[in-house]
Amino acid sequence: MRRLKLNRAFTLIEPGPVVLVTTHDGRKNNVMTISWTMVVDFTPLFAITTGEWNHSFAALRKYRECVVAVPTVDLLDEVVGIGTCSGADTDKFARFNLTPVRGKFVKAPLIKECLANIECKVIDIVRKHNIVVLEGLAAYMDTARKERRTIHAVGDGTFIVDGRRLNRRKMMLSKIPEGI
Amino acid sequence: MRRLKLNRAFTLIEPGPVVLVTTHDGRKNNVMTISWTMVVDFTPLFAITTGEWNHSFAALRKYRECVVAVPTVDLLDEVVGIGTCSGADTDKFARFNLTPVRGKFVKAPLIKECLANIECKVIDIVRKHNIVVLEGLAAYMDTARKERRTIHAVGDGTFIVDGRRLNRRKMMLSKIPEGI
């Protein structure tokens, strides 16, 4: 994994892929599947929707850090499996053969098998709406990875895989942040 | 456009497509391109990130309603065009040949050319993070439309088009809300 410039990290989340969010509770790693995410600022800031119903939430609230990892379509069954069992009774890293990698800023692990990882700290929890606001501290990309298509959860049990990419950069230059 | 059951409306936004958000300021219609969106609840509740930098924000704050419309790939140039000019000096419905359609609950118009539309009221504005929380009141789908592939903004001037759809419904049954 190579460091990705932090000002590009929002481009990992803006397209709306399903992500894996890892935490560390002082004793062990955990990971959850989240498809309710949003970029909030280029700096980068991200929002995710989660709450008490996710076992990871306690660690997120207590340690105020996590890693947002972006899986690709070859990991779909792992993504679904992670989303349908609980860290309360399952070591998900072991069960789904994920390799935890030590980050630079947070104790929550990066996931080696993912296309990209973002180390994050929790900067706010909007309890009224179950919205957790994250600040990205460092981003990484597996530039050697061949499969780079991410997956978009529909919410009905189906997933849309990335198709072709269209370029409208010239039309949009006024709106693209400098250096992107 | 046909009514879509409201409990399915979250499935329009969960995959993370770029959307158009319409408003009505008491005098005229406006529309903005938003790719920073998130489902917050199945009921459905949605979050979008916007603020004073968008001309539409004043109408959104004052009238507390909008329509979230989901365009498809054949509308990409309109989506980019709408996102790179301002309602302050442009009638975007006229300029981009969009047909406003009267909804049932809000004065902001549906967009006839879009695949889907969701009438929404603003239920909260989290000013600290520029997050606007919307409640869906009614949803519509153009079931006759042939092009149904949505588009995902990357943020660097490129867009990813929906590719194939994979089904993991059986694996996920425990997590899919009833009736979906």
Say what the ipTM of the complex is: 0.97
- Whether residue A158 and residue B169 make contact (CB cut-off 8 A), yes or no, is yes
How far B102 CA sits from the closest chain A CA (Å)?
27
CA-to-CA distance for B168 and B174, rounded, in angstroms? 12
Question: Would you state the pLDDT for residue B30?
Answer: 98
Question: Would you state the pLDDT for residue A102?
Answer: 97
Question: Would you state the pLDDT for residue B87?
Answer: 94
CA-to-CA distance for B84 and A10, rounded, in angstroms? 19
Give chain A positions within 8 Å (CB) of B156: 8, 11, 169, 176, 180
Question: Would you state the pLDDT for residue B121?
Answer: 98
Burial B17-48 (b: 16+ CB within 10 A, else e): bbbbbbbbbeeebbbbbbbbbbbbbbebbbbb
Hey, of A75, A156, A173, which one would you mutate to test binding to chain B, going by the most B CBs within 10 A of its CB?
A156
Quick: pLDDT tens for B86-132: 999 999 999 999 999 999 999 999 999 999 999 999 999 999 999 99
Q: What is the mean pLDDT of each run of 10 residues along chain A (180 residues)?
A: 96 98 97 98 97 94 98 98 96 98 98 98 98 98 97 98 98 92
Question: Would you state the pLDDT for residue B89?
Answer: 95
Q: Say whether B144 sits in a helix, a strand or coil.
A: coil
Question: Would you state the pLDDT for residue B142?
Answer: 98
Ranges under pLDDT 70 in chain B: none
How far B168 CA sits from the closest chain A CA (Å)?
5
The pTM of the full predicted model, rounded to 2 decimals, is 0.97
Question: Would you state the pLDDT for residue B150?
Answer: 98
- Whether residue B80 and residue A37 make contact (CB cut-off 8 A), yes or no, is no
What values do phi and psi take at A148, rounded to 5?
A: -125, 5
